[in-house]
Amino acid sequence: MSRMIAEDENELHRLCDMLKVVHDGLDEGSPLREAVTKAGLGLSLAFMNGQRWKMEELAAGLGRPLDEGQRQELRRLGIDPDGE
């Protein structure tokens, strides 16, 4: 595992602090609380494994229309990109 640079570590702490606020505002036993906890763990793993760039790339692409390559990949996986 590579060592995080200070900028990545600071960003991870900032994001996890926000997730903690969300987590603490949810009812105990809530499935949403579990999801927030697991999201924080996944985010931490990504950052610790040098994948911040991929997380940023994925976040930037949220809500964008799929390009034809992405649509073809989904079809290859048996997923209809135009389905519900």
DSSP states of 43-63 as a string? HHHHHHTT-HHHHHHHHHHTT
Coil, strand or helix at 39: helix
pLDDT of residue 3: 74
- Cα 38 from Cα 16, distance rounded (Å): 11
Give first-to-last CA distance, the chain, whole Å.
Answer: 39
pLDDT of residue 76: 94
Can you give the pTM of this predicted structure?
0.71
54-64 pLDDT, tens per residue?
A: 999 989 988 99
